[in-house]
Structure 1
Amino acid sequence: MQERIKEVAARVKELRGILEIGTDEMAKYLNISKDRYERYENGEEDIPASELYEISKKLGVEMSILLTGETPRMHYFTVTRKGKGVSVERRKQYKYQNLAFNFINKKAEPFIVTVEPKPKGTPVHTNSHPGQEFNYVLDGSLRFIIRDQEFVLNEGDSIYFDSSCDHAMVALNEKQARFLAIIM
Protein backbone atom coordinates (compact mmCIF):
# COMPACT_ATOMS: atom_id res chain seq x y z
CA MET A 1 0.00 0.00 0.00
CA GLN A 2 2.75 2.48 0.95
CA GLU A 3 4.53 1.80 -2.35
CA ARG A 4 1.36 2.60 -4.31
CA ILE A 5 0.97 5.90 -2.40
CA LYS A 6 4.54 6.83 -3.37
CA GLU A 7 3.94 5.91 -7.03
CA VAL A 8 0.82 8.10 -7.24
CA ALA A 9 2.65 10.93 -5.45
CA ALA A 10 5.58 10.72 -7.89
CA ARG A 11 3.25 10.93 -10.90
CA VAL A 12 1.48 13.97 -9.44
CA LYS A 13 4.80 15.69 -8.67
CA GLU A 14 6.21 14.95 -12.13
CA LEU A 15 3.16 16.24 -14.01
CA ARG A 16 2.91 19.35 -11.84
CA GLY A 17 6.58 20.06 -12.55
CA ILE A 18 6.16 19.56 -16.30
CA LEU A 19 3.24 22.01 -16.28
CA GLU A 20 5.25 24.45 -14.13
CA ILE A 21 2.54 24.68 -11.49
CA GLY A 22 3.94 25.59 -8.09
CA THR A 23 3.12 23.77 -4.88
CA ASP A 24 1.62 27.01 -3.53
CA GLU A 25 -0.79 27.15 -6.47
CA MET A 26 -1.81 23.50 -6.07
CA ALA A 27 -2.37 23.86 -2.32
CA LYS A 28 -4.48 26.98 -2.87
CA TYR A 29 -6.47 25.22 -5.63
CA LEU A 30 -7.21 22.32 -3.26
CA ASN A 31 -7.87 24.68 -0.33
CA ILE A 32 -5.30 22.92 1.87
CA SER A 33 -2.01 24.00 3.45
CA LYS A 34 1.17 23.95 1.39
CA ASP A 35 2.70 21.66 4.02
CA ARG A 36 -0.10 19.11 3.61
CA TYR A 37 0.15 19.26 -0.19
CA GLU A 38 3.90 18.66 0.00
CA ARG A 39 3.28 15.63 2.26
CA TYR A 40 1.02 14.29 -0.51
CA GLU A 41 3.71 14.76 -3.15
CA ASN A 42 6.39 13.23 -0.95
CA GLY A 43 4.26 10.13 -0.41
CA GLU A 44 4.12 10.83 3.33
CA GLU A 45 0.33 11.16 3.38
CA ASP A 46 -2.24 9.42 1.21
CA ILE A 47 -4.17 11.69 -1.16
CA PRO A 48 -7.96 11.42 -0.63
CA ALA A 49 -9.85 10.33 -3.76
CA SER A 50 -11.78 13.60 -3.91
CA GLU A 51 -8.55 15.63 -3.87
CA LEU A 52 -6.88 13.30 -6.36
CA TYR A 53 -9.85 13.91 -8.65
CA GLU A 54 -9.35 17.68 -8.30
CA ILE A 55 -5.59 17.34 -8.88
CA SER A 56 -6.28 15.40 -12.10
CA LYS A 57 -8.58 18.20 -13.28
CA LYS A 58 -5.95 20.86 -12.50
CA LEU A 59 -3.26 18.86 -14.31
CA GLY A 60 -5.58 18.20 -17.26
CA VAL A 61 -5.28 14.41 -17.11
CA GLU A 62 -7.56 11.50 -16.37
CA MET A 63 -7.52 10.40 -12.75
CA SER A 64 -6.59 6.90 -13.89
CA ILE A 65 -3.26 8.20 -15.22
CA LEU A 66 -2.36 9.31 -11.71
CA LEU A 67 -3.56 6.01 -10.23
CA THR A 68 -2.07 3.56 -12.72
CA GLY A 69 0.46 5.46 -14.82
CA GLU A 70 -1.42 4.30 -17.92
CA THR A 71 -3.39 6.40 -20.37
CA PRO A 72 -7.07 5.50 -20.82
CA ARG A 73 -7.68 4.09 -24.28
CA MET A 74 -11.41 3.66 -24.72
CA HIS A 75 -13.37 6.31 -26.66
CA TYR A 76 -16.86 4.84 -27.08
CA PHE A 77 -17.30 2.45 -24.17
CA THR A 78 -15.46 0.54 -21.50
CA VAL A 79 -16.44 -2.65 -19.69
CA THR A 80 -15.28 -3.30 -16.16
CA ARG A 81 -15.89 -6.84 -14.97
CA LYS A 82 -17.00 -7.59 -11.42
CA GLY A 83 -14.16 -6.97 -9.00
CA LYS A 84 -11.81 -5.75 -11.75
CA GLY A 85 -12.05 -1.96 -11.27
CA VAL A 86 -8.87 -0.16 -10.23
CA SER A 87 -8.71 -0.21 -6.45
CA VAL A 88 -8.16 3.13 -4.82
CA GLU A 89 -7.26 2.81 -1.14
CA ARG A 90 -7.51 6.49 -0.34
CA ARG A 91 -8.87 6.65 3.20
CA LYS A 92 -8.88 4.10 5.97
CA GLN A 93 -12.65 4.13 6.36
CA TYR A 94 -13.44 3.81 2.63
CA LYS A 95 -12.23 1.50 -0.14
CA TYR A 96 -12.90 2.80 -3.66
CA GLN A 97 -13.00 0.78 -6.88
CA ASN A 98 -12.94 2.94 -10.03
CA LEU A 99 -15.37 1.52 -12.60
CA ALA A 100 -14.42 3.59 -15.66
CA PHE A 101 -10.65 3.98 -15.31
CA ASN A 102 -10.04 3.16 -18.97
CA PHE A 103 -12.44 5.68 -20.58
CA ILE A 104 -11.11 8.91 -22.07
CA ASN A 105 -12.59 12.33 -21.23
CA LYS A 106 -15.05 11.19 -18.57
CA LYS A 107 -17.55 13.74 -17.33
CA ALA A 108 -17.95 11.79 -14.07
CA GLU A 109 -16.00 9.28 -11.96
CA PRO A 110 -18.01 6.18 -10.97
CA PHE A 111 -16.83 4.14 -7.98
CA ILE A 112 -18.01 1.23 -5.88
CA VAL A 113 -17.23 2.32 -2.32
CA THR A 114 -16.95 -0.12 0.57
CA VAL A 115 -17.32 1.24 4.09
CA GLU A 116 -16.11 -0.91 6.97
CA PRO A 117 -17.86 -0.62 10.33
CA LYS A 118 -16.02 1.39 12.97
CA PRO A 119 -15.82 0.74 16.68
CA LYS A 120 -18.42 2.70 18.63
CA GLY A 121 -17.17 6.11 19.70
CA THR A 122 -14.76 6.48 16.77
CA PRO A 123 -14.87 10.08 15.51
CA VAL A 124 -16.40 10.67 12.08
CA HIS A 125 -14.26 12.60 9.61
CA THR A 126 -16.11 14.54 6.94
CA ASN A 127 -14.94 15.21 3.42
CA SER A 128 -15.80 17.85 0.85
CA HIS A 129 -14.82 18.47 -2.75
CA PRO A 130 -16.09 20.63 -5.60
CA GLY A 131 -18.91 19.32 -7.74
CA GLN A 132 -21.87 17.07 -7.18
CA GLU A 133 -22.19 13.46 -6.15
CA PHE A 134 -24.75 10.67 -6.48
CA ASN A 135 -24.69 7.71 -4.08
CA TYR A 136 -26.83 4.55 -4.35
CA VAL A 137 -26.67 2.01 -1.52
CA LEU A 138 -26.04 -1.53 -2.82
CA ASP A 139 -25.59 -3.45 0.44
CA GLY A 140 -26.02 -2.64 4.11
CA SER A 141 -27.03 0.58 5.82
CA LEU A 142 -25.23 3.89 6.12
CA ARG A 143 -25.56 6.85 8.41
CA PHE A 144 -25.20 9.74 5.98
CA ILE A 145 -24.01 13.05 7.35
CA ILE A 146 -24.18 16.28 5.35
CA ARG A 147 -23.61 19.61 7.04
CA ASP A 148 -25.82 19.47 10.16
CA GLN A 149 -28.18 16.79 8.82
CA GLU A 150 -28.00 13.06 9.54
CA PHE A 151 -30.17 10.25 8.23
CA VAL A 152 -30.02 6.54 7.44
CA LEU A 153 -29.76 5.20 3.90
CA ASN A 154 -30.61 1.52 3.39
CA GLU A 155 -30.13 -0.83 0.44
CA GLY A 156 -31.83 0.71 -2.61
CA ASP A 157 -31.83 4.27 -1.20
CA SER A 158 -29.95 7.04 -2.97
CA ILE A 159 -28.89 10.63 -2.51
CA TYR A 160 -27.73 13.35 -4.90
CA PHE A 161 -25.94 16.28 -3.26
CA ASP A 162 -23.59 19.25 -3.51
CA SER A 163 -20.29 17.60 -2.59
CA SER A 164 -18.72 20.91 -1.56
CA CYS A 165 -20.74 20.46 1.65
CA ASP A 166 -18.99 18.51 4.40
CA HIS A 167 -20.25 14.94 4.23
CA ALA A 168 -19.47 11.42 5.50
CA MET A 169 -20.92 7.92 5.50
CA VAL A 170 -20.73 5.48 8.41
CA ALA A 171 -21.56 1.76 8.11
CA LEU A 172 -24.28 0.73 10.57
CA ASN A 173 -25.18 -2.45 12.46
CA GLU A 174 -21.51 -3.48 12.71
CA LYS A 175 -21.66 -4.62 9.06
CA GLN A 176 -19.84 -3.54 5.94
CA ALA A 177 -21.83 -1.35 3.53
CA ARG A 178 -21.29 -0.76 -0.20
CA PHE A 179 -22.57 1.99 -2.44
CA LEU A 180 -22.22 3.24 -5.99
CA ALA A 181 -20.76 6.76 -5.98
CA ILE A 182 -20.71 8.93 -9.07
CA ILE A 183 -18.65 12.11 -8.64
CA MET A 184 -19.27 14.92 -11.13
Structure 2
Amino acid sequence: MSLPSTFDRDISRRIKDLRDALDITPDELAKRVGCTPEEITNYESGSGEVPVSYLYALAKATGVDLTALITGSEAKLHQYCLVKKNQGLAVTRRKAYKYQALAYRFNRPSMEPFLVTVPPREREELEFNHHAGEEFIYLLEGRLELLLGKDVVVMNPHDSLYFSSTIPHAMRGLDGKEALFLDVIN
Protein backbone atom coordinates (compact mmCIF):
# COMPACT_ATOMS: atom_id res chain seq x y z
CA MET A 1 0.00 0.00 0.00
CA SER A 2 1.41 3.38 -1.01
CA LEU A 3 1.62 6.39 1.28
CA PRO A 4 -1.08 9.03 0.85
CA SER A 5 -0.10 11.99 -1.33
CA THR A 6 -0.16 15.63 -0.26
CA PHE A 7 -3.35 15.85 -2.36
CA ASP A 8 -4.94 13.07 -0.26
CA ARG A 9 -3.85 14.66 3.02
CA ASP A 10 -5.17 18.08 1.92
CA ILE A 11 -8.58 16.62 1.14
CA SER A 12 -8.63 14.76 4.46
CA ARG A 13 -7.79 17.99 6.29
CA ARG A 14 -10.52 19.91 4.43
CA ILE A 15 -13.20 17.33 5.24
CA LYS A 16 -12.20 17.21 8.91
CA ASP A 17 -12.15 21.03 9.07
CA LEU A 18 -15.60 21.12 7.48
CA ARG A 19 -17.05 18.70 10.03
CA ASP A 20 -15.43 20.66 12.86
CA ALA A 21 -16.71 24.00 11.49
CA LEU A 22 -20.24 22.60 11.28
CA ASP A 23 -19.86 21.14 14.79
CA ILE A 24 -21.06 17.69 13.66
CA THR A 25 -19.92 14.46 15.31
CA PRO A 26 -18.76 11.53 13.17
CA ASP A 27 -21.94 9.68 14.25
CA GLU A 28 -24.19 12.53 13.07
CA LEU A 29 -22.34 12.89 9.78
CA ALA A 30 -22.40 9.13 9.18
CA LYS A 31 -26.20 9.21 9.32
CA ARG A 32 -26.31 12.08 6.83
CA VAL A 33 -23.96 10.55 4.26
CA GLY A 34 -24.79 6.86 4.63
CA CYS A 35 -21.56 5.40 5.97
CA THR A 36 -20.11 4.40 9.33
CA PRO A 37 -18.46 6.73 11.87
CA GLU A 38 -15.32 4.59 11.53
CA GLU A 39 -15.19 5.28 7.79
CA ILE A 40 -15.46 9.01 8.45
CA THR A 41 -12.67 8.91 11.03
CA ASN A 42 -10.52 6.95 8.57
CA TYR A 43 -11.17 9.42 5.72
CA GLU A 44 -10.31 12.35 7.99
CA SER A 45 -7.10 10.77 9.28
CA GLY A 46 -5.21 11.31 6.03
CA SER A 47 -3.91 7.75 6.11
CA GLY A 48 -5.56 6.66 2.86
CA GLU A 49 -7.66 7.69 -0.08
CA VAL A 50 -11.13 9.18 0.17
CA PRO A 51 -13.63 7.84 -2.40
CA VAL A 52 -15.26 10.31 -4.77
CA SER A 53 -18.61 8.87 -3.74
CA TYR A 54 -17.98 9.95 -0.13
CA LEU A 55 -16.88 13.43 -1.20
CA TYR A 56 -20.03 13.78 -3.28
CA ALA A 57 -22.26 12.58 -0.42
CA LEU A 58 -20.47 14.94 1.99
CA ALA A 59 -20.87 17.90 -0.37
CA LYS A 60 -24.56 17.15 -0.82
CA ALA A 61 -25.20 16.63 2.91
CA THR A 62 -23.43 19.82 3.97
CA GLY A 63 -24.24 22.15 1.06
CA VAL A 64 -20.56 22.60 0.25
CA ASP A 65 -19.33 22.56 -3.34
CA LEU A 66 -17.60 19.29 -4.36
CA THR A 67 -14.91 21.27 -6.16
CA ALA A 68 -14.13 23.11 -2.90
CA LEU A 69 -13.61 19.78 -1.11
CA ILE A 70 -11.29 18.52 -3.85
CA THR A 71 -9.33 21.67 -4.73
CA GLY A 72 -9.80 24.02 -1.78
CA SER A 73 -11.56 26.70 -3.86
CA GLU A 74 -15.18 26.96 -4.91
CA ALA A 75 -16.36 26.78 -8.52
CA LYS A 76 -17.47 30.12 -9.93
CA LEU A 77 -19.72 29.42 -12.95
CA HIS A 78 -23.51 29.59 -12.57
CA GLN A 79 -24.90 29.59 -16.14
CA TYR A 80 -22.96 26.81 -17.87
CA CYS A 81 -19.64 25.00 -17.76
CA LEU A 82 -17.83 23.86 -20.89
CA VAL A 83 -15.02 21.36 -20.37
CA LYS A 84 -12.99 20.63 -23.49
CA LYS A 85 -11.71 17.15 -24.34
CA ASN A 86 -9.10 15.90 -21.83
CA GLN A 87 -9.57 19.04 -19.70
CA GLY A 88 -11.65 17.51 -16.90
CA LEU A 89 -10.31 17.89 -13.37
CA ALA A 90 -8.24 14.78 -12.63
CA VAL A 91 -9.53 13.31 -9.39
CA THR A 92 -7.23 10.55 -8.19
CA ARG A 93 -9.45 9.50 -5.33
CA ARG A 94 -9.54 5.76 -5.86
CA LYS A 95 -6.43 4.00 -7.02
CA ALA A 96 -8.59 1.41 -8.77
CA TYR A 97 -10.10 3.96 -11.20
CA LYS A 98 -9.15 7.18 -12.96
CA TYR A 99 -11.73 9.99 -12.68
CA GLN A 100 -12.13 13.29 -14.51
CA ALA A 101 -14.71 15.64 -13.00
CA LEU A 102 -16.68 17.26 -15.81
CA ALA A 103 -18.68 19.92 -13.92
CA TYR A 104 -15.94 21.14 -11.60
CA ARG A 105 -16.24 24.78 -12.70
CA PHE A 106 -20.01 24.92 -12.13
CA ASN A 107 -21.10 26.22 -8.76
CA ARG A 108 -23.02 23.63 -6.72
CA PRO A 109 -24.28 21.33 -9.48
CA SER A 110 -27.24 19.08 -8.62
CA MET A 111 -25.45 16.07 -10.13
CA GLU A 112 -21.79 15.20 -10.68
CA PRO A 113 -20.67 13.87 -14.07
CA PHE A 114 -17.32 12.09 -14.34
CA LEU A 115 -15.38 10.43 -17.11
CA VAL A 116 -14.10 7.21 -15.54
CA THR A 117 -11.43 4.80 -16.77
CA VAL A 118 -11.44 1.34 -15.19
CA PRO A 119 -8.49 -0.99 -15.80
CA PRO A 120 -8.76 -4.71 -16.33
CA ARG A 121 -8.15 -6.79 -13.23
CA GLU A 122 -8.95 -10.09 -11.64
CA ARG A 123 -12.27 -10.38 -9.85
CA GLU A 124 -10.48 -11.19 -6.57
CA GLU A 125 -8.78 -7.76 -6.72
CA LEU A 126 -12.05 -5.80 -6.80
CA GLU A 127 -13.00 -3.50 -3.95
CA PHE A 128 -16.69 -2.91 -3.32
CA ASN A 129 -18.05 0.55 -2.68
CA HIS A 130 -21.49 1.84 -1.68
CA HIS A 131 -22.87 5.26 -0.97
CA ALA A 132 -26.11 7.18 -0.80
CA GLY A 133 -27.81 8.26 -4.01
CA GLU A 134 -28.12 6.93 -7.51
CA GLU A 135 -25.70 6.44 -10.37
CA PHE A 136 -25.92 6.40 -14.15
CA ILE A 137 -23.25 4.79 -16.33
CA TYR A 138 -22.99 5.12 -20.12
CA LEU A 139 -20.21 2.94 -21.55
CA LEU A 140 -18.14 4.64 -24.25
CA GLU A 141 -15.25 2.21 -24.91
CA GLY A 142 -14.25 -1.31 -23.96
CA ARG A 143 -16.32 -3.82 -22.03
CA LEU A 144 -17.19 -3.39 -18.37
CA GLU A 145 -18.17 -5.92 -15.74
CA LEU A 146 -20.09 -4.58 -12.75
CA LEU A 147 -20.80 -6.57 -9.65
CA LEU A 148 -23.96 -5.19 -8.07
CA GLY A 149 -24.48 -7.03 -4.82
CA LYS A 150 -24.78 -10.65 -5.96
CA ASP A 151 -25.60 -9.76 -9.58
CA VAL A 152 -23.09 -9.50 -12.42
CA VAL A 153 -23.77 -7.09 -15.28
CA VAL A 154 -21.64 -6.96 -18.43
CA MET A 155 -21.80 -3.79 -20.50
CA ASN A 156 -20.76 -3.18 -24.09
CA PRO A 157 -20.19 0.21 -25.76
CA HIS A 158 -23.33 2.39 -25.76
CA ASP A 159 -25.04 0.31 -23.05
CA SER A 160 -26.29 2.26 -20.06
CA LEU A 161 -27.05 1.33 -16.48
CA TYR A 162 -28.94 3.21 -13.78
CA PHE A 163 -28.76 1.86 -10.22
CA SER A 164 -29.06 2.64 -6.55
CA SER A 165 -25.57 3.43 -5.25
CA THR A 166 -26.51 1.90 -1.91
CA ILE A 167 -25.96 -1.51 -3.53
CA PRO A 168 -22.35 -2.62 -2.93
CA HIS A 169 -20.71 -2.36 -6.35
CA ALA A 170 -17.35 -2.98 -7.98
CA MET A 171 -16.19 -2.95 -11.58
CA ARG A 172 -13.43 -4.00 -13.92
CA GLY A 173 -12.49 -3.73 -17.57
CA LEU A 174 -12.82 -6.96 -19.54
CA ASP A 175 -10.79 -8.60 -22.32
CA GLY A 176 -7.52 -7.29 -20.87
CA LYS A 177 -8.49 -3.68 -21.75
CA GLU A 178 -9.61 -0.54 -19.96
CA ALA A 179 -13.25 0.48 -20.00
CA LEU A 180 -14.17 4.16 -20.41
CA PHE A 181 -17.57 5.48 -19.35
CA LEU A 182 -19.56 8.53 -18.42
CA ASP A 183 -20.66 8.29 -14.78
CA VAL A 184 -23.27 10.61 -13.31
CA ILE A 185 -23.75 10.52 -9.54
CA ASN A 186 -26.80 12.03 -7.89
Could you state the TM-score of these two structures normalised by the residue count of structure 1? 0.92
The amino acid of 2:27's aligned partner reads D
2:126 aligned residue (124, 127, 130):
124
Find the counterpart in structure 1 of residue 169 from structure 2.
167
The amino acid of 1:11's aligned partner reads R
Residues 121, 158 of structure 1: alpha-carbon distance in 2 compared, 3 angstrom cutoff: closer
Aligned equivalents of 1:146, 1:99: Cα separation in 2: 25
Is 1:107 aligned to 2:110, yes or no?
A: yes
- Once the two structures are superposed, residues 57-98 of structure 1 have per-residue CA deviations (whole angstroms, 9 ceiling, x without a partner) of 222111110001111111110111111111111222111110
Return 93-102 or 32-41, whichever deviates more. 32-41
Residues 108, 32 of structure 1: alpha-carbon distance in 2 compared, 3 angstrom cutoff: closer
1:147 aligned residue (149, 155, 165):
149
1:122 counterpart SS class: helix
Deviation of the 1:31 alpha carbon: 4.2
For structure 2, the residue ranges without an aligned partner over 5 or more in a row are: none
Residues 135, 14 of structure 1: alpha-carbon distance in 2 compared, 3 angstrom cutoff: same
Deviation of the 1:145 alpha carbon: 1.6
1:73 counterpart SS class: coil
Aligned equivalents of 2:30, 2:47: Cα separation in 1: 16
2:98 counterpart SS class: strand
Could you state the TM-score of these two structures normalised by the residue count of structure 2? 0.91
Deviation of the 1:36 alpha carbon: 3.1
1:50 aligned residue (53, 69, 89):
53
Please give the root-mean-square deviation of Cα atoms over the aligned residues, in Å.
Answer: 1.6
1:91 counterpart SS class: coil
Aligned equivalents of 2:111, 2:84: Cα separation in 1: 19
Aligned equivalents of 1:33, 1:130: Cα separation in 2: 12
- Once the two structures are superposed, residues 126-160 of structure 1 have per-residue CA deviations (whole angstroms, 9 ceiling, x without a partner) of 22111111101111001122122112101111111
Residues 121, 102 of structure 1: alpha-carbon distance in 2 compared, 3 angstrom cutoff: closer
Percent identity for Structure 1 against Structure 2: 38
Total equivalences in the alignment: 183
The amino acid of 1:127's aligned partner reads N
Find the counterpart in structure 2 of residue 11 from structure 1.
14
Aligned equivalents of 1:164, 1:87: Cα separation in 2: 25
Aligned equivalents of 1:8, 1:182: Cα separation in 2: 21
1:126 counterpart SS class: coil
- Once the two structures are superposed, residues 4-49 of structure 1 have per-residue CA deviations (whole angstroms, 9 ceiling, x without a partner) of 0011111111121111112232234344443332221121121111
For structure 1, the residue ranges without an aligned partner over 5 or more in a row are: none
